Structure 1
Amino acid sequence: MSFKRVWSATGVVALTGALLLTTASTASADYVRDQQWALNAFAADDVWAESQGQGVTVAVVDSGVDASHPDLSGQVLAGKDFTGGGNAREDLVGHGTKMASIIAGHGHGSGNDSGVVGLAPKAKILPLRTLQTRNDKNLEETWGPAVRYAVDQGAKVINLSFGSDGGSKTTSDGREAIAYAQAHDVVVVAAAGNEGIGSVIEPAALPGVVSVGAVDEKANLWTDSNTGKGLTLTAPGVEIVGANSTMSNGYGESSGTSEATAYASAAAALVRSKYPDLSAGQVINRLIKTATFAHHKGLKAPDEEYGYGIVRPYSALTMDIPAGSKKNPLGQLQSSSVSSQSSKGTDSSTQAKKKKKSSSGSLLLIGGIAAVVVIGAIAFVVIRSRRNGGSGGPGSGGGSPQHPTYPSAQQPYPNSAPNQGYSTPPGQFPQPPNSYSQQPPHQGQ
């Protein structure tokens, strides 16, 4: 997989194949709080009355997270550096710190009235450092192990604000890692890409991954947000203020699907916190069922520009939605090695015992030359099975190479009040004509 830096006309920098990096202007602490328009759009106070993400760990696979930033103090776990040495709790790029602050920042100062507040301010951040500078390559043999480590450390949501270069496919290291996460009931969220093309980049486009595009304050799609088949959700990603220790005062403003991904990860953390018994698939289902097209009329989900719609955390937390199947409605990557690891050898050893019992029975019924023939046949089958990776097909890595498939027969969207979701209660926040507060999109077949 190759890597290159791409500069867009809007000033957004995308280190494709690594992080979806953005240029950022400096912002003051007061400006930070005043300009967090997404919190108003989400009706954050109402959201936090339902859930703040407590008890949930979100892994941020990125450039590290500055644990010393005042808006993240106490939120950042030890994590791990996968770059061959260093500290996951420091960030020389600023990207990982910003993602962490969007997810779980808590502000600072008197009453925490200054700085960044994340959408899930009581979630914990597990920093997993997979590159140190903007020039480093974010290789799958680096971020793949980081994803596996996140699963083993108990992360319930994994944020991947990066993507492959110009349509490159995710190789076995990355696919196996994501399959491992899905097999262990983890919500994986990834950025759709900042190229403004009609194709969602990988790993966001892989089956079962929640791929996220960006919208602005008026709920319109961001110009450079990738679209196309495989887009799951959209979220605020334009002129987003966040913590950035590379800036002189610790803050910056930028736009991108990275920021949108962080908001979607935070929404997943909120749901996992309030409904701990729901599977990852059921959490994703709630996010899908409660998303909105806002003022965009006549669209049917999944739409290639908005996916199932703009994420609405309040609705995801409060609407009456049957739990339904535990399976991921977006599909799931399959891997023979993941299956054997997730079952700790139980299935394979059970099958081996059945084979042994069956073979023993056959050997008791025959003798002499016939026994030799049976043994030879069994050996041939076993050897051939092993060469095929135990999955009945060639090669390793498993999974289907196509884009994720959307559920074909979901339940209808439940009825909801017109002002449920993004809008705040009357009198608290004036509703602009393009408010996010609309009915959920109806389901396309």
Structure 2
Amino acid sequence: MDVYTMEETWGVTQGEGVTVAVIDTGVDGSHPDLTGQVLKGKDFTGGGDAQEDVEGHGTAMASLIAAHGHGADNADGMMGIAPKAKILPLRVLQNDDDKLLDDEWATAVRYAVDNGAKVVNLSLGDEGGKTLRVGREAIAYAQDHDVLVVASSGNEGGAVGYPAALPGVLAVSAVDENGEFWGSSGAGKEVDLAAPGVDILSANPTNPKGYDLSTGTSDSAAIVSGAAALVRSKYPDLTAGQVANRLIKSASFLGKKGLKAPDDKYGYGVLRPNKAVTMDIPKGPKEGPLGKLPSDTASKAGGSEAGEKNGASGNEDSSSSSNLPLVIGGGVAVLIVIGVIFAVARGRRG
């Protein structure tokens, strides 16, 4: 099934006019597949450069969202989901063994909102505890300012990690090339969507070849962020909640039997970018189906203590200072899903 054949979709929208914030290890804007796409951004790790990425993870996520290829007719390299979206790099980690601090990523979320991002990608998380107040308040701030936050569900095979588990955050698990659930994905009632996350090709400035393969929910979250950019570009009048509604209502279980939405592994189904921008889907309520953190979260704890995600009706086809290591779901790769190579490693001459 050509779920991720993108040429038809790019005839409708390529993410023009939408900025996606990538809160991660920085983004190397000099990579040939990302030139011109990466804004200056900001470093929150101690005065460095947001376009320095010694780990490579942030660049990988940015490429899945907005890579445009290179060379004659951009026939070399790879393409992301939304090749005309802009990337706002916000560096909160330098290496994958750095501690992920809530106050740093929370400050980055607020910066993203204040500097024009319409989608925030959090391909990171804390799988050992709940988000501190500063993080919950930052997510609530994004929600109050019509910014969609997308986060990875985690890679330890247990419960959905934070901040993905927070109400209003679009939590994403991973599937393989056959649309089968990747067993190490975080799973639970908080999962909203699944997307490709196994053997994914993406840009990697730390690899001499410039590319790499990886596996994890980091990749699947970035892919959903790219699709969100497509929807926000095509339907600029939709709220963040209504964008989430389109992504959810256009998802599918891809013919799998015995699943009922929402499913703990797949949520409302596997993301289908083309259907998300072309299906006839009513706008729905402004707040969308994901629930919402209260604006005043001062006395609330994460997860259920801060409210639960609201139910969403899929279509019938959808038949701490967090002092723990960053979970960077494997890092890199153009989507191979349902047997179709997606974020196109076209004509990879070298």
The unaligned stretches of length 5 or more in structure 1 are: 1-37, 338-388, 390-394, 419-430, 436-445
Q: CA deviation at 1:291?
A: 0.3
| Distance in 2 between residues matched to 1:254 and 1:291, nearest whole Å | 24
State, as a whole percentage, how many aligned pairs show the same letter: 59
| Distance in 1 between residues matched to 2:279 and 2:137, nearest whole Å | 34
| Distance in 1 between residues matched to 2:188 and 2:301, nearest whole Å | 25
| Distance in 2 between residues matched to 1:415 and 1:92, nearest whole Å | 42
Equivalence for 1:150:
112
Does 2:138 correspond to 1:174?
no
Equivalence for 1:189:
150
Which of 236, 244, 254 aligns to 1:294? It is: 254
Asked whether the 8 Å contact 2:40–2:51 carries over to 1, the reply is yes
Please give the per-residue CA displacement for 1:284-340, whole angstroms capped at 9, x wherever unaligned: 001111100003112110011110000011111111111121013110011238xxx
The unaligned stretches of length 5 or more in structure 2 are: 320-336, 341-350
Q: CA deviation at 1:405?
A: 2.4
Asked whether the 8 Å contact 2:130–2:303 carries over to 1, the reply is no
Q: CA deviation at 1:230?
A: 0.5
| Distance in 2 between residues matched to 1:218 and 1:174, nearest whole Å | 35
TM-score between the two structures when normalised by the length of structure 2? 0.87
Does 2:52 correspond to 1:90?
yes
Equivalence for 1:401:
305
Q: CA deviation at 1:133?
A: 1.8
SS in structure 2 at match of 1:213: strand
SS in structure 2 at match of 1:232: strand
Which of 213, 219, 224 aligns to 2:184? It is: 224
Equivalence for 2:206:
246
Off by >6 Å, runs of 4+ in structure 1: 396-399
Distance 1:312 1:403, change over 3 A: farther
Equivalence for 2:291:
331
After TM superposition, the structure 1 = structure 2 runs for residues 304-383 of structure 1, keeping only pairs within 5 Å, are 304-336=264-296
Asked whether the 8 Å contact 1:64–1:128 carries over to 2, the reply is yes
- My pick for the range that moved more, 281-290 or 107-116, is 107-116
Does 2:63 correspond to 1:107?
no
Asked whether the 8 Å contact 1:71–1:115 carries over to 2, the reply is yes
Please give the per-residue CA displacement for 1:377-406, whole angstroms capped at 9, x wherever unaligned: xxxxxxxxxxxx7xxxxx378995257323
Asked whether the 8 Å contact 2:165–2:303 carries over to 1, the reply is no
| Distance in 2 between residues matched to 1:46 and 1:110, nearest whole Å | 21
Equivalence for 2:25:
63
Provide the aligned length of Structure 1 versus Structure 2.
324
| Distance in 2 between residues matched to 1:206 and 1:218, nearest whole Å | 29
| Distance in 1 between residues matched to 2:103 and 2:236, nearest whole Å | 31
Asked whether the 8 Å contact 2:166–2:302 carries over to 1, the reply is no
Equivalence for 1:255:
215
| Distance in 2 between residues matched to 1:226 and 1:396, nearest whole Å | 23
RMSD: 2.4
Higher helix share: 1
| Distance in 2 between residues matched to 1:275 and 1:106, nearest whole Å | 22
One-letter amino acid of the structure 2 residue matched with residue 146 of structure 1: A
One-letter amino acid of the structure 2 residue matched with residue 182 of structure 1: Q
Asked whether the 8 Å contact 1:334–1:399 carries over to 2, the reply is no
| Distance in 1 between residues matched to 2:269 and 2:9, nearest whole Å | 18
One-letter amino acid of the structure 2 residue matched with residue 191 of structure 1: S
| Distance in 2 between residues matched to 1:165 and 1:325, nearest whole Å | 31
Q: CA deviation at 1:414?
A: 7.5
Distance 1:240 1:267, change over 3 A: same
Asked whether the 8 Å contact 1:52–1:123 carries over to 2, the reply is yes
| Distance in 2 between residues matched to 1:120 and 1:231, nearest whole Å | 23
TM-score between the two structures when normalised by the length of structure 1? 0.69
Which of 150, 161, 173 aligns to 1:213? It is: 173
